Structure 1
Amino acid sequence: MRKAIPWKSVSFHSFVCIFGLFMLYPILWTVASSLKPESEIFVNAASLIPTALEWGNYATGWKGFGQVGFDTFFKNSAFVTSLVVIGTLFSSTLVAFGFARQKFWLRNALFACLMISMMLPSQVTLVPQYILFQKLNWVNTYNPLIVPAFIGGTPFFIFLLIQFIRGIPRELDEAAVIDGCSPYGIFWRVVLPLCKPALVTTAIFSFYWTWDDFMGPLIYLNDVSLHTVSLGLRMFADPSAVTAWGPMFAMSVLSLLPQLLVFLFFQKYLVQGIATTGLKG
């Protein structure tokens, strides 16, 4: 007997494919535009197939501006992003362990302040932070972008790690105490190894947010040699002259590659970390 066609499954997968195509279209359009001649990018904008492959857009964009090549922007972004990820993992994990496992005075009040800080728009703290960093003579350096990651952590990641650590059975802590572990020993030997999925999730999101950050470098970095990729892309758009759309799209494609590679290599841990966060053992 012939099997009935699973129309529900066919409809669902068809909808997902069409929706996925709509989601991917801007990226595909950017890749196609990076290979088009300047005169063709907006003339036949809907087409994803260039009439001629203009690889010169990548060469022109990679040269950068003046004496600063686009490789410098990539190096700057890699330097800032790496240190921010390391600082976020270090500080956020320590703070989360304190909230999830330790009892101390004003614990609930500080946790409430942590939750409130997640609701504050970044624009609220922008001016006070700039005044503080200006007083410290940190403007036009990487310190305002890197140092805060090592001090206090990031509220969103702290909350995520708190929920994950709460899912680790406390019996493991009690067994470690019997074996002579201090709170720091419990953190390094018991909790931290079990937080691998949540740590990878934190690292991935911290990498994405720092690599794509535009406002922070725009405010604190004045020297072109210190600019990151996001500011380098902005320099292609000149309101007083002709915008170099081809090189800008070419460098935009290259700027997406690190994020794509990170997602492909750590996708398993990302899904696992999100799926298990908040589950209590």
Structure 2
Amino acid sequence: MANSVPSAVRAGHRPTTRRIQWRPAAYHLLVGGLALIMLYPILWLVASSLKPNDEIFANAYSLIPSRFAWENYRSGWAGFAGNTFATFFRNSLFIVTVSTVGAVASSALVAYAFARIPFAGKNFWFTCLMMTMLLPHDVTIIPQYVLFSKLGWLSSFKPVIVPQFFSVPFFVFLIMQFIRTIPGELDEAAKIDGCSKYGIFFRIIMPLIAPALITATIFSFYWRWDDFINPLLYLNKPELYPVSLALKLFLDGESLNNWGGMFAMATLSLVPILLVFLFFQRYIVEGISTSGLKG
């Protein structure tokens, strides 16, 4: 009887141990399969950028080209109407950089005002600001176009850049929630030392909300880089086109479409997005968590 108990225990533990050992393998297999499904369109894009133009859709399901058509990158980079794709990348970087600086800086100031400075009608104006997030972009397209047309801003970068300098409601809410986690005693101590409201913001608040600012910067970079409808409406000259708008020039209904060149330039357009994500991905979760001070 003494020998039968350990054997029963051992027999009872073996299936449990095997189940525990198989769980990580099954989990990683499932996650790997889902990741492959999500990454397949990107892999297909990269593979198609290296295929001859007549093979892209004839052998669409294969990720291995019969030969590497590097001429797709040369023809794509050559651009259109005397403008190489370097011009389009330069336009995109200019729009994204200036718009992001304006959106994050203005949103941080507005968030600081709502979070720390008392003024008449604060709750009312904050409600109005948040309600603008409920407006679909389609509702504001025509009024904005009429306004910018009367200002004479069409065929320039102003309509796609200047509005970002008047804050972005989502960024205001994100940064304001982060500021609220910072103890108000720091503001009082700074006031005693003679700091003004601007001094408190730039010397006390801004260093502490860096994760939220970086998160807003990343989101703004992604949104502006992928923006298509606004450049389509306001930028009517090819030399002003960003990458998102220039890619459609490869498709011509009256002649042969250069699919290889379009896929090649679309692949290159992913490089800045991937670099930003790889270098700053840890700040996204940290900024959204609004953890504030860590003591």
Does the alignment reach a TM-score above 0.5? yes
1:55 aligns with 2:101: no
Per the alignment, residue 113 of structure 1 pairs with: 128
Per the alignment, residue 69 of structure 1 pairs with: 84
Per the alignment, residue 36 of structure 1 pairs with: 51
TM-score, with normalisation over the residues of structure 2? 0.91
1:274 aligns with one of 270, 282, 288 = 288
User: Any idea what the Cα deviations from partners look like across 1:241-267, whole Å, max 9, x if unmatched?
Assistant: 221100000000000001111111111
> 1:47 is matched by which residue type in structure 2?
S
CA contact (8 A) 1:217 1:227 kept: yes
For 1:100-249, list aligned pairs within 5 A. 100-151=115-166, 153-249=167-263
CA contact (8 A) 2:208 2:293 kept: no
Q: CA deviation at 1:129?
A: 0.6
1:169 aligns to what SS in structure 2?
A: coil
1:78 aligns with one of 71, 93, 110 = 93
Once structures 1 and 2 are overlaid, which stretch shifts more, 160-169 or 219-228? 160-169
- Partners in 2 of 1:160 and 1:276 — Cα distance? 8
CA contact (8 A) 2:250 2:259 kept: yes
- Partners in 2 of 1:70 and 1:18 — Cα distance? 35
Q: CA deviation at 1:136?
A: 0.7
- Partners in 1 of 2:223 and 2:280 — Cα distance? 16
Larger Rg: 2
- Partners in 1 of 2:58 and 2:235 — Cα distance? 36
TM-score, with normalisation over the residues of structure 1? 0.95
Consecutive unaligned residues of structure 1, counting only runs of 5 or more, are: none
User: Any idea what the Cα deviations from partners look like across 1:91-112, whole Å, max 9, x if unmatched?
Assistant: 0000000111111111111111
Per the alignment, residue 265 of structure 1 pairs with: 279
> 2:105 is matched by which residue type in structure 1?
F
User: Any idea what the Cα deviations from partners look like across 1:179-207, whole Å, max 9, x if unmatched?
Assistant: 11111111001111111111111001100
CA contact (8 A) 2:99 2:161 kept: yes
- Partners in 1 of 2:294 and 2:220 — Cα distance? 25
1:256 aligns with 2:239: no
- Provide the aligned length of Structure 1 versus Structure 2: 280
> 2:120 is matched by which residue type in structure 1?
W
Once structures 1 and 2 are overlaid, which stretch shifts more, 2-11 or 59-68? 2-11
1:111 aligns to what SS in structure 2?
A: helix
The share of aligned pairs that are identical, in percent, is 56
- Partners in 1 of 2:28 and 2:252 — Cα distance? 43
The 3 A distance-change label for structure 1 pair 92 and 26 is: same
- Partners in 1 of 2:293 and 2:27 — Cα distance? 29
Q: CA deviation at 1:174?
A: 1.6
Question: RMSD of the alignment, in Å?
Answer: 1.8
